[in-house]
Structure 1
């Protein structure tokens, strides 16, 4: 069975406590948040400044708790319109890659992003110029970059896609630009589902590029897809995530067929990990305690894996 973990920035705890909690809940891997110090998306390990003693302490704790780190997370717009911001993101991403190498972590998760001031084709040209040296650096250090396929509508004031890697068409364009094995997908089927794309066929088609899966379900219950449509709610939004036609939820409480997805992935050589991207909703209300939500998610995924193994 593949490893099951979670993205650590759902918890407001020191990394050492997150590792211990993961072990207590039955997880065996983590995707560790590595935004810069002070970023609200959390910095569990400071990729910009560390020493050998710090890394040894982390490694020893992981070993003692029988937990691995399968990926370091830094999801930002690496094609930002603002050059200063873009350069900051790129610089930090390279530091996260170096940290992954130091900790023997195989993957770093990020976005390509999008420059909203230029055409799609020019965005891919810009991506080639930016990511080719990044991928060469990652390759030299034995690290693989994983692109998450979220369109990031919250980055756009009108709620439109703000990345250039959110659909199978764009995956093909991405991997044409970067055929290297050091670039893959951190596959999130929920985004494909709410866009009306058959995530099972996509999983089969791009199986050789899928190295990790983000586990987050979606539901249309208590939403109005026929009122708001694919591009979502535009008027009187309660918050940036008030899309109106779907909401994120825990695995098993939404519309994703996880049993079939895991079956398709396993039949196509997927070896994991599965990383829970915790959201504080069960589709019908709220689970404000992330520890409980993580426990429910791990139990569900463990049971699904057992059933899938019998297929």
Structure 2
């Protein structure tokens, strides 16, 4: 197992700057954010120019990683592959294919994304639509030696009522998506707030957990008694603010990282555990984000066999 980090939390830095810092800090791998360069939200960081990615760019990227003793564990483009707008969906699929091409050029085994959801239609319709959409994408990736990995994030902010916007949040849905040739980028934080014990999900799906993310989650005392499981309803200016929980860096929330890492080892996980920093306490400035990543490193590094 290697300890890595997702670069999306530092959108203002270049990949070279992140690689230098991550190597010095003791990280072993980068999950590289590969959104288009639109200057958008933090999780739309563009750290690899996958459009027109050629052999020269691949060689330069490999040399950069080698200088800092790092691997690239996966390329990250977490977008809605079932977007209700056909034009937007086509854009997403086109960019995902560019991400896959870049991963193949770099010999990176995984490209990360979401199943997503058309929030104007019921779940059953979405599952049927995904069964049409994903086989072609899985085939495209497979022909290039890349596997598509799906993060089990609920993406409640994508749905107008705060319901799941990514149909990959539960073991029931994992089994369905595995039948489409997809794999899992397993993140225990999302399981924690929807009432699933993350440790119990490792053994049954160990052969499909090929990459993992390390993000913690803090349940705010007493808040669920006011808002209920589905979160704020009357004054929810931020679609991502449920009011009763928040993401934290590993070691600052409810996740039992000793148990998580032990379960991954016990069931044969040999991939990268990649820190995904979305902690509001350690956000807002480059210095605070890096401090959060240092906290995560200090929490997880002693648990991972050198």
CA distance in structure 2 between the aligned counterparts of 1:85 and 1:232, rounded to whole angstroms: 28
List, as ranges, runs of 4+ consecutive aligned residues in structure 1 with deviation greater than 4 Å. 285-288
Q: 1:211 — aligned with what?
A: 210
Deviation at 1:64, TM superposition (A): 1.4
CA distance in structure 2 between the aligned counterparts of 1:21 and 1:110, rounded to whole angstroms: 26
Q: How does 1:1-311 map to 2 (within 5 A)?
A: 2-11=1-10, 12-40=12-40, 41-176=44-179, 178=180, 180=181, 183-222=182-221, 224-237=223-236, 239-281=238-280, 288=285, 289-305=288-304
> CA 1:223–1:142 in structure 2 vs 1: closer, same or farther (change >3 Å)?
farther
Q: In structure 2, the residue corresponding to 1:76 is in which secondary structure?
A: strand
CA distance in structure 2 between the aligned counterparts of 1:164 and 1:279, rounded to whole angstroms: 21
For structure 2, the residue ranges without an aligned partner over 5 or more in a row are none
CA distance in structure 2 between the aligned counterparts of 1:14 and 1:118, rounded to whole angstroms: 39
CA distance in structure 1 between the aligned counterparts of 2:243 and 2:113, rounded to whole angstroms: 27
Aligned residues: 300
Query: So what's the TM-score if we normalise by structure 2?
Result: 0.93
Deviation at 1:238, TM superposition (A): 5.1
Aligned alpha-carbon RMSD (Å): 1.7
Contact 2:150–2:183 (8 Å) recurs in 1: yes
For structure 1, the residue ranges without an aligned partner over 5 or more in a row are none
> CA 1:37–1:290 in structure 2 vs 1: closer, same or farther (change >3 Å)?
same
Query: So what's the TM-score if we normalise by structure 1?
Result: 0.92
Contact 1:74–1:110 (8 Å) recurs in 2: yes
CA distance in structure 1 between the aligned counterparts of 2:39 and 2:222, rounded to whole angstroms: 32
> CA 1:251–1:145 in structure 2 vs 1: closer, same or farther (change >3 Å)?
same
Query: What are the Cα deviations for residues 161-185 of structure 1, in whole angstroms up to 9, with x where unaligned?
Result: 1121111111122223x2x4xx210
> CA 1:244–1:195 in structure 2 vs 1: closer, same or farther (change >3 Å)?
same
CA distance in structure 1 between the aligned counterparts of 2:284 and 2:294, rounded to whole angstroms: 11
Contact 1:6–1:31 (8 Å) recurs in 2: yes
Deviation at 1:222, TM superposition (A): 5.0
